[in-house]
Copies of this chain bind each other. A is one copy, B any other.
Amino acid sequence: MFELLLQSVKEKVSVKADEFEFAKTLFIPKKLRKRQYLLQEGDVSKYTAFVEKGMLRMFTVDEKGNEPILQFSMEGWWAGDLYSFLTQEPSQYHIEAMEVCELLLISKSSWDMLLDKVPAFERYFRILIQNSLIATQRRLMSSMSESAEEKYTKLINNFPGCLQRIPQHMIASYLGITPETLSRIRGQMSERK
Protein backbone atom coordinates (compact mmCIF):
# COMPACT_ATOMS: atom_id res chain seq x y z
CA MET A 1 0.00 0.00 0.00
CA PHE A 2 2.88 2.39 0.64
CA GLU A 3 5.03 1.41 -2.37
CA LEU A 4 4.33 4.57 -4.36
CA LEU A 5 4.95 6.85 -1.41
CA LEU A 6 8.17 5.04 -0.58
CA GLN A 7 9.26 5.44 -4.18
CA SER A 8 8.44 9.15 -4.17
CA VAL A 9 10.44 9.66 -0.98
CA LYS A 10 13.39 7.54 -2.04
CA GLU A 11 13.91 9.31 -5.33
CA LYS A 12 14.39 12.59 -3.44
CA VAL A 13 16.07 11.72 -0.13
CA SER A 14 17.49 8.74 1.69
CA VAL A 15 15.39 7.45 4.58
CA LYS A 16 16.15 4.71 7.03
CA ALA A 17 13.74 1.80 7.14
CA ASP A 18 12.58 2.60 10.68
CA GLU A 19 11.97 6.23 9.79
CA PHE A 20 9.70 5.20 6.97
CA GLU A 21 7.97 2.67 9.21
CA PHE A 22 7.27 5.48 11.65
CA ALA A 23 5.93 7.65 8.85
CA LYS A 24 3.57 4.90 7.74
CA THR A 25 1.81 4.93 11.10
CA LEU A 26 0.80 8.56 10.54
CA PHE A 27 -1.19 8.05 7.35
CA ILE A 28 -4.87 7.26 7.10
CA PRO A 29 -6.08 5.45 3.96
CA LYS A 30 -9.14 6.92 2.30
CA LYS A 31 -11.13 6.13 -0.85
CA LEU A 32 -13.11 8.65 -2.85
CA ARG A 33 -15.77 7.97 -5.46
CA LYS A 34 -15.78 9.92 -8.67
CA ARG A 35 -16.95 13.52 -8.10
CA GLN A 36 -16.54 13.25 -4.35
CA TYR A 37 -14.80 16.17 -2.66
CA LEU A 38 -11.60 15.97 -0.63
CA LEU A 39 -11.98 19.64 0.29
CA GLN A 40 -14.59 22.31 -0.25
CA GLU A 41 -14.19 26.06 -0.35
CA GLY A 42 -14.63 27.52 3.11
CA ASP A 43 -13.55 24.36 4.91
CA VAL A 44 -10.21 24.00 6.64
CA SER A 45 -7.85 21.53 5.03
CA LYS A 46 -7.28 19.21 7.98
CA TYR A 47 -5.35 16.72 5.87
CA THR A 48 -3.04 16.71 2.96
CA ALA A 49 -3.17 13.69 0.68
CA PHE A 50 -0.80 11.47 -1.22
CA VAL A 51 -2.48 10.00 -4.28
CA GLU A 52 -2.06 6.23 -4.63
CA LYS A 53 -4.59 5.83 -7.41
CA GLY A 54 -6.89 8.05 -9.44
CA MET A 55 -6.80 11.74 -10.13
CA LEU A 56 -8.04 14.95 -8.52
CA ARG A 57 -8.46 18.54 -9.53
CA MET A 58 -8.01 21.62 -7.36
CA PHE A 59 -9.96 24.66 -8.49
CA THR A 60 -11.91 27.75 -7.49
CA VAL A 61 -15.22 29.03 -8.74
CA ASP A 62 -15.07 32.64 -9.93
CA GLU A 63 -17.83 35.23 -10.29
CA LYS A 64 -18.65 34.26 -13.90
CA GLY A 65 -19.03 30.59 -12.97
CA ASN A 66 -15.70 29.54 -14.46
CA GLU A 67 -13.69 26.95 -12.61
CA PRO A 68 -10.01 27.75 -13.17
CA ILE A 69 -7.92 24.73 -12.22
CA LEU A 70 -4.77 25.26 -10.17
CA GLN A 71 -3.60 21.68 -10.44
CA PHE A 72 -4.31 18.10 -11.26
CA SER A 73 -2.91 15.47 -8.88
CA MET A 74 -2.44 11.93 -10.06
CA GLU A 75 -0.78 8.76 -8.75
CA GLY A 76 2.47 9.55 -7.00
CA TRP A 77 1.60 13.22 -6.48
CA TRP A 78 0.20 15.13 -3.55
CA ALA A 79 -3.13 16.91 -3.38
CA GLY A 80 -3.99 19.64 -0.91
CA ASP A 81 -4.29 23.35 -0.32
CA LEU A 82 -0.92 24.23 1.17
CA TYR A 83 -2.08 27.53 2.63
CA SER A 84 -5.13 26.19 4.39
CA PHE A 85 -3.27 23.11 5.60
CA LEU A 86 -0.43 25.12 7.09
CA THR A 87 -2.44 27.90 8.65
CA GLN A 88 -5.61 25.94 9.36
CA GLU A 89 -7.56 28.80 7.85
CA PRO A 90 -10.54 28.17 5.53
CA SER A 91 -9.57 27.26 1.99
CA GLN A 92 -10.34 29.13 -1.23
CA TYR A 93 -10.24 25.94 -3.21
CA HIS A 94 -12.25 22.85 -4.00
CA ILE A 95 -10.49 19.53 -4.46
CA GLU A 96 -12.56 16.96 -6.29
CA ALA A 97 -11.92 13.38 -7.35
CA MET A 98 -12.09 13.12 -11.14
CA GLU A 99 -11.92 9.33 -10.93
CA VAL A 100 -12.20 6.74 -8.18
CA CYS A 101 -9.30 7.59 -5.88
CA GLU A 102 -7.24 5.92 -3.21
CA LEU A 103 -5.47 8.36 -0.95
CA LEU A 104 -3.20 8.42 2.06
CA LEU A 105 -4.13 11.28 4.37
CA ILE A 106 -1.89 12.91 6.93
CA SER A 107 -3.13 15.42 9.49
CA LYS A 108 -1.44 18.74 10.21
CA SER A 109 -0.28 17.60 13.65
CA SER A 110 1.14 14.32 12.33
CA TRP A 111 2.85 16.19 9.54
CA ASP A 112 4.42 18.63 11.98
CA MET A 113 5.59 15.74 14.11
CA LEU A 114 7.00 13.86 11.13
CA LEU A 115 9.02 16.88 10.01
CA ASP A 116 10.30 17.45 13.52
CA LYS A 117 11.36 13.89 14.19
CA VAL A 118 12.62 12.90 10.78
CA PRO A 119 14.77 15.54 9.03
CA ALA A 120 14.74 13.45 5.85
CA PHE A 121 11.03 14.22 5.56
CA GLU A 122 11.63 17.92 6.12
CA ARG A 123 13.96 17.71 3.15
CA TYR A 124 11.58 15.56 1.13
CA PHE A 125 8.86 18.16 1.44
CA ARG A 126 11.29 20.98 0.77
CA ILE A 127 12.24 19.36 -2.51
CA LEU A 128 8.64 18.59 -3.37
CA ILE A 129 7.59 22.18 -2.76
CA GLN A 130 10.64 23.45 -4.60
CA ASN A 131 9.76 21.50 -7.73
CA SER A 132 6.21 22.64 -7.46
CA LEU A 133 7.33 26.27 -7.19
CA ILE A 134 9.55 25.96 -10.25
CA ALA A 135 6.69 24.45 -12.26
CA THR A 136 4.22 27.08 -11.06
CA GLN A 137 6.62 29.91 -11.92
CA ARG A 138 6.95 28.55 -15.44
CA ARG A 139 3.23 28.27 -15.80
CA LEU A 140 2.79 31.82 -14.57
CA MET A 141 5.27 33.20 -17.10
CA SER A 142 3.60 31.17 -19.80
CA SER A 143 0.18 32.46 -18.81
CA MET A 144 1.45 36.06 -18.79
CA SER A 145 3.13 36.14 -22.16
CA GLU A 146 1.99 33.34 -24.43
CA SER A 147 -1.01 32.89 -26.69
CA ALA A 148 -3.62 30.23 -26.02
CA GLU A 149 -2.14 28.02 -28.72
CA GLU A 150 1.41 28.27 -27.36
CA LYS A 151 0.20 27.36 -23.89
CA TYR A 152 -1.62 24.33 -25.21
CA THR A 153 1.34 23.18 -27.31
CA LYS A 154 3.66 23.44 -24.31
CA LEU A 155 1.21 21.49 -22.20
CA ILE A 156 1.01 18.56 -24.59
CA ASN A 157 4.79 18.53 -24.86
CA ASN A 158 5.27 18.62 -21.10
CA PHE A 159 2.61 16.07 -20.15
CA PRO A 160 2.09 13.88 -23.18
CA GLY A 161 0.59 10.89 -21.40
CA CYS A 162 -1.59 12.42 -18.72
CA LEU A 163 -3.92 14.40 -20.94
CA GLN A 164 -5.88 11.41 -22.25
CA ARG A 165 -7.51 10.95 -18.88
CA ILE A 166 -8.61 14.57 -18.63
CA PRO A 167 -11.76 15.88 -20.32
CA GLN A 168 -11.02 18.73 -22.70
CA HIS A 169 -13.04 21.37 -20.93
CA MET A 170 -10.90 20.78 -17.83
CA ILE A 171 -7.73 21.18 -19.85
CA ALA A 172 -9.19 24.49 -20.99
CA SER A 173 -9.85 25.47 -17.35
CA TYR A 174 -6.27 24.56 -16.52
CA LEU A 175 -4.97 26.75 -19.33
CA GLY A 176 -7.26 29.61 -18.38
CA ILE A 177 -9.12 29.61 -21.69
CA THR A 178 -12.67 28.64 -22.69
CA PRO A 179 -13.55 25.16 -23.98
CA GLU A 180 -14.62 26.76 -27.28
CA THR A 181 -11.22 28.32 -27.81
CA LEU A 182 -9.45 25.06 -27.03
CA SER A 183 -11.65 23.20 -29.46
CA ARG A 184 -10.88 25.71 -32.21
CA ILE A 185 -7.15 25.53 -31.52
CA ARG A 186 -7.23 21.75 -31.77
CA GLY A 187 -9.20 22.02 -34.98
CA GLN A 188 -6.66 24.37 -36.53
CA MET A 189 -3.71 22.29 -35.34
CA SER A 190 -5.04 19.05 -36.82
CA GLU A 191 -6.07 20.55 -40.16
CA ARG A 192 -2.58 21.92 -40.76
CA LYS A 193 -1.50 18.31 -40.17
Spell out A's residues near B (CB within 8 Å).
60, 62, 66, 68, 70, 82-83, 86, 115, 119, 122-123, 125-126, 129-130, 132-134, 136-137, 139-141, 143-146, 176
Which of A62, A125, A126, A137: most chain B CB closer than 10 A?
A137
Closest to A125 in B: B126
Knowing that A62-B145, A122-B122 are A-B contacts, what are 20 other residue pairs whose CB atoms are under 8 Å apart, sorted by A's residue number? A60-B145, A68-B144, A82-B130, A82-B133, A82-B134, A82-B137, A83-B134, A115-B123, A119-B122, A122-B123, A122-B126, A125-B126, A126-B129, A129-B129, A129-B133, A133-B133, A140-B140, A140-B143, A143-B144, A145-B176
Q: In the complex, are the beta carbons of A176 and B126 less than 8 A apart?
A: no
Bound: A82/B176 CA distance, A:
25
Which of A62, A82, A115, A143: most chain B CB closer than 10 A?
A143
Bound: A68/B143 CA distance, A:
10
Which single member of B68, B86, B115 contacts A141 (CB below 8 Å)?
A: B68
